Amino acid sequence: MREISSDTIQEAVYRAITKISYHCDPCVTSALEVALKKESSELAKDALNSILLNHRVSPESNIPLCQDTGSTVVFAEIGTDMHVVGQTLPELINEAVRRAQKDCPLRASTVAEPLFERNNMNDNTPAIIHIEFVEGDKIKLLLAQKGGGAENMSFMKMLSPAAGTQGIIDFVCENVLAAGSRPCPPLILGIGIGSNFEGAPLLAKKALFEPLGRPHPDTRYREMECEITQRINSLGCGVQGFGGGCTVLATHILYAPCHIASLPVAVNIECHAHRHIEVII
């Protein structure tokens, strides 16, 4: 049984949050540069240049990529042949979140109660943590700093199985376009198909951790991803809603088994800041 100190994990989470708050995923930067070369709208080009400038200035000036520094989301895969010594995993992750919020500093964006008092926690805790046990002696953490603007425009629906491929594509495209500029395009779309009412949104969230623009291993889902991206981009919302051909940078689908009477579909929208990282200890 391998033992890992909670201090080791806490420090890794702290460093990960700090890194993604200032350094954009290089794959996103590359995708934006490609979009800039293809773009014909001068207004959209100006917006893309501003985003790319922000990617350069943020780490140089120690200013977060976006004023909405996000909520911390963690998918943890814990090997059954390892043991965390010291704090529990939620305790040490939340301590890392507190440290990062204070030291970076990051905007305090979490309220303790969602409807009435809405008092700010002032430290961005608690993180949203999903734990899964797997074989092995390592711990794998997928971390995101998820902003509220794109999250607010996310959506799901329990479709009829009769909706089929075209029904899903229509549902996704119509709702992404209806969101307009509010989720701060260009976007990454995480789509979860299958599971059940609570499972589809988790699939959608986890789909955002897929390598940007990777081809889906199943040709049928790959074609759906391409059609969704191309259709949305052809309809002119564009960068920050200024028009042009770059509303979506990539679409990623994950799926799971589901009930014979159901076809759950969830879409988790991510803005171009795309603050995601993988840590293996």
Other Cβ atoms within 10 Å of 57 Cβ, number: 12
Res 1 pLDDT > 90: no
% of residues, the chain, pLDDT over 70: 100
> Which residue from 183, 176, 281 is spatially nearest to 232, judged by alpha carbons?
176
pLDDT for 160-216, tens place per residue? 999 999 999 999 999 999 999 999 999 999 999 999 999 999 999 999 999 999 999
Res 240 pLDDT > 90: yes
pLDDT for 200-220, tens place per residue? 999 999 999 999 999 999 999
Q: Does domain 149-274 have CATH number 3.30.1330?
A: yes
pLDDT reported for residue 158 = 98
pLDDT for 24-76, tens place per residue? 999 999 999 999 999 999 999 999 999 999 999 999 999 999 999 999 999 99
Res 120 pLDDT > 90: yes
